[in-house]
Amino acid sequence: MLFYAMHIIHLLTVILWIGGLAFVTSIVLPMAIKTPDALQKVLLFQRVEHRFAKVARTYNVITGATGFVMIFLAGWHRTLFTRAGIPLTVMTMIWVFWFVMLWGLEPFVIKKMLTNMLKDPKMDIDGIFKRLNTMHWFMVFISLVAATAGVFVAHIPIVF
Ligand code: HEM
């Protein structure tokens, strides 16, 4: 019963989290990039990113907590870093990457970078937004890889 509850919460949280990320990446970021005024461009993105990062931190913790409860309930933690546990290991490693991004890099590196952009009008803002765009699509991609790995864990056993 607890396992099923964790599974449902895990899945719903992932939908909200990755759906939100895809929205920011495919709608908000292009809107910011197309905004001609540099100040408006940075402000639009900064406001959305800061708000979303806070929510994403909560989603990250819930996804991780429910995932770890499930693997300990089922005893699957023993398959981590083994051949049979490749999808679980992939999902966990991508989660760790997100954890570091959201709790380590975003509040310090990204936040600082956006604040510096507002202070220094001579910065190559278009170049930075190009890199932000690439980084966001990369994060959407690896999140979809994690979701696919999750489907393997839940429904498609790997037999070597
Ligand atoms: C980026 C982070 C993660 C994403 C996007 C993600 C996504 C998913 C998805 C889409 C499923 C499939 C659910 C289904 O088909 O019904 C799933 C299942 C699962 N996830 Fe994750 N997950 C993440 C992190 C984790 C972590 C950190 C763990 C634990 C260490 C974990 C453990 C599990 C387990 C055990 C299942 C299978 C549940 C079952 O067999 O009933 N996940 N995940």
Give the closest residue (by CA) to ligand 1 atom 39: 154
Terminal C-alpha separation, the chain = 30
Give the closest residue (by CA) to ligand 1 atom 42: 67
The mean per-residue pLDDT over the stretch 60-83 comes to 97
Q: How far is the CA of 71 from the centre of ligand 1 (A)?
A: 9
154 CB within 6 A, ligand 1: yes
Confidence (pLDDT) at 20:
98
Coil vs helix vs strand at 34: helix
Confidence (pLDDT) at 107:
77
Confidence (pLDDT) at 124:
85
Percent of the chain surpassing pLDDT 70 = 98
Residues in the chain: 160
Max mean pLDDT among 84-93, 103-112, 115-124 falls in 84-93
Confidence (pLDDT) at 110:
78
Confidence of residue 106 (pLDDT cuts 50, 70, 90): confident
Confidence (pLDDT) at 10:
98
144 CB within 6 A, ligand 1: no
Q: With beta carbons less than 8 A apart as the criterion, state whether 70 and 8 touch.
A: no
Confidence (pLDDT) at 133:
95
31 CB within 6 A, ligand 1: no
Which is more confidently placed, 121 or 27?
27
